[in-house]
Structure 1
Amino acid sequence: MTRVVVVTGASSGIGLATARAFAGQGARLVIAARSAAGLEVAEGICTADGGDVLVVPTDVSHADEVEALMEAAVHRFGRVDVVVHAAAVLAYGRFEDVPGEIFDRVVTVNVQGTANVGRSALRVFRRQGHGTLIVVGSLLGKIATPYLSCYVTSKWAVHGLTRSLQIETRSEPGIEVALVWPGSVNTPVYSQAGNYAGRAGRPPPPVDPPERVARRIVRLADRPARSASVGMANRLTLFGFHWLPGVFDALVTPLMKVGVLSRDEVEPQAGNVLQPRPAGNSEYGRWGRHWLRPLAGTAVAVAAVGWKLRRR
């Protein structure tokens, strides 16, 4: 049976890669994002990939728009089998340097958006007796770093909310809730982000292509699991955060300065936090593995410092 799949954040990055992966299977797709222009481009790509596509511009922070999205999906295709929630925004900067409006908007979009999508999806699933909700979290929903406090705050909340939904749906056969938490992914989210750090952001190594996350999401739709990590360094980073907190705290700031904040200076700006920037949308960012080579020596040096701290 052909699946009906709703994807939020489908105009760029992981959301677009996921929509394309399902389109390649011939799915009936409902793609959502804030920008109608960005969705028009995504629609053309997904249609060419083999999907039957419905476009519904949606700001997930508005509950009424999310309700309208789910209603449109059911009206067009008769049901919803899978909902993938990938919409999110972020901003760089020390906590006190990020304007309150920007911090609040990141939390609202990421947390309230997840709540709105989860609430509407579960209502549909309960009416029809089946459905799978897949929430895209982050490694930063399990650790903490400087310069990304608003995103870290939001993703910890997203992980907690998703875990609660998993517990609440345990007794409902046919309804599944899954969390996928990627590490660094080569998408435009870093260049689209708000920035109050003075230096442009980029993904820390190692960096995965967005289609790797999309493949894991498709597998979760086939065989739901509570949690799925995507990123070769995720488990190691998580181990350090929990079991070597002193070393982690000593290393994370210099590593962020080297691997996450580039040398390119930028003026304070909101990025796409307050308004979409469709011109910056794409499945891929500009960060392949080639740009990581100059960081290798620095990473080795920082690791050596960490080893000395640990021995003390």
Structure 2
Amino acid sequence: MTTTSHAPVVQLSNVSKKYDDYLAVDDVSFTVRSGTVLALLGTNGAGKTTTIDIATGMMHPTAGSVRLFGEDPHTDRAQVADRIGIMLQDAGFFDGLTVGETIDAWRRFTPRARHRDEAVEMVSLHRQLGTTVGRLSGGERRRLDLALALLGTPDLLFLDEPTTGLDPAARHQTWELLSAMVDDGLTVVLTTHYMEEAERLADEIAIIDNGRIVRLGPLADFTTGCSTRIDLSLRCADDAQRLALAAGSNATVDGGRISLTTADPQPALLDLLRWAQSAGLEFESIRVGASTLEQSFLDTITEVAR
């Protein structure tokens, strides 16, 4: 992650998209500056992908304006196409082509295209160069998606759920690759369900719900505060429910796991430990830490729903 702040590369101003009586995107505005990363977060169906489609120029908004490098990506496509890379959720490959043949085909119509060997090396697909796309795993296909999005050495990269299906090692390698490129000046707009991914890469966070941006600001605004998260685990779900009732309404239960946030963690934890001891219960695990982006996201969505 970088804290560099330069000229705006992406500008969405009061953008809306309406389908008949359904408003998929509702008055969305945000700016992404050069060499920074904006993570667009939201639940399924919140409007993330539609917003990305509009921002890339693949879809025309019903209202509002979009500018990439000062140009309209829909009407002035030729002015911006060579400077952007796009990684969608499904690129629609030809399963009969090998990885190498797929990259070679894309290189023919990609200006400033990287060499094929560089493209596969970036995403660790050199061993799959002769493998047909139809035989790739889901994670390997996502890595090929990323290689093609980066093929033209873009100045601006749009990533829609880039690490879905990747194993933890491949996910961390992807984060390291993207972080290095951002440090070199790449600008990124990212959608993801992995909060750790957003925390690792993003400078700015935008939370979208029902098509509207409900919270927007620097990452630090979402992760810095006085609240502390306590996570407890018990073997029995019924015991977890009993303990949650003792903890009060701030606690949430998922099976045998209990989570709560508090501004005063020490007395809260001591109360839980005393109650558990008196009830003859043993915790399988206890974790105490600063409030995370995930918790901040859940709190925001819950507050909006009220």
Q: Same fold (TM over 0.5)?
A: no
TM norm structure 2: 0.31
TM norm structure 1: 0.30
Q: Which has the higher helix share?
A: 1
Q: Which has the higher strand share?
A: 2
